[in-house]
A and B are shown apart, each in its own frame.
Chain A
């Protein structure tokens, strides 16, 4: 397994979730995910290991997503809640979890860009410093945005 296979394995799910926070259509999510991974592949030789690998991938994902322009899908879309759910839960819990996840995704998508990105990266488990690194902000600024984003999300989810 080469370094890029490992990156896909370790950060691919994060990249897909970042793509899902911007696009609703599954084909467009796949397109964006592919675009991000191609960019990671091209930029990988420039990674000097100064920051965290996750923050590096997140930054590329963020920058590709900024320049990504929505296009009409050539394929039929699949609603998010029709995708394969986690098999460990019961059928009722599955539906409930899927619905909750869908609500969360919709709320995240509805956030303005400067608030959405820090929140997504926070949900991905990045620290404030890493969020700052990924978005080109100071850790304090990232923290301010995150606080606003969480307040806004809470308001939207209740």
Chain B
């Protein structure tokens, strides 16, 4: 290589060294945060499933145990999907750039679909379930007793949280898709 090339390399690498200990500590903290968030989400999900099951056993709701089974199945499916995407992401690191870009766009699209189902699908499902139950039971039923109201308030709070989270997430994923798509021409022009 030429002297110019060597000088350029020396200039490029002439940057302050990083503090490996500090970087490691930050990575550990991020990993811990991710783990705790996942654990907390699953714990909340199982808590909700247990509450629905308890309400079903006590006779406050009557879905022939379909509701707790559906929630539990959803949680198991989410856990399996989480494990699968983690492995898929690991494999994605070894693909070539255009495939990586396509993968990243696909991942953001999946996130957008999930976000839409949170802010549109979930409230629509809850409303349809409530109205369907009301139609089958002969009228709109209000919760019975303090524990019924507590469950009702919990469901409403959960739906509100999911809608808010879904809207924020959808906006972010839509931005991601637009930004990633804008990068396509750079790769299409590759020799």
> A and B: real partners?
yes
Tell me the A residues contacting B by CB distance below 8 Å.
Answer: 4-5, 8-9, 12-13, 16-17, 20, 33-34, 37-39, 41-43, 46, 59-60, 62-64, 66-67, 69-70, 83-86, 97, 100-101, 104, 112-114, 117, 122-125, 135-137, 141, 144-145, 148, 150
Interface residues of B (CB under 8 A from A): 5, 8-9, 11-18, 20, 23-24, 26-27, 30-31, 86, 89-97, 100-101, 103-104, 107, 175-176, 179-180, 183, 186-187, 189-191
Q: Report the nearest B residue to A117, measured CB to CB.
A: B97
B18 touches which of A13, A63, A69 (Cβ 8 Å): A13
Chain B residue, CB-CB nearest to A44:
B90
Q: How far is the CA of A117 from the CA of B5 in the complex (A)?
A: 16
Nearest Cβ in chain A — how far from B112, in angstroms? Answer: 13
B11 interface neighbour in A42, A84, A104, Cβ under 8 Å: A104
Assuming A5-B20, A34-B26, A42-B86, is B97 touching A63 (CB within 8 A)?
Answer: yes
B2 to chain A: closest residue by CB:
A150
Taken together as a complex, chains A and B put the C-alpha atoms of A5 and B17 apart, in Å, by 14
Contact, CB under 8 Å: B14 / A86? yes
CB-based contact B95/A13 at 8 Å: no
Would you call B20 and A114 a contact (CB within 8 A)?
no
Q: Is the CB of A84 within 8 A of B191?
A: no
Q: Are the CB atoms of B23 and A12 closer together than 8 Å?
A: yes
Contact A100 B11 (CB under 8 A): yes
A86 touching B16 in the complex, CB below 8 Å, given contacts A70-B179, A114-B190: yes
- Provide the bound-state CA to CA distance between A42 and B92, in Å: 12
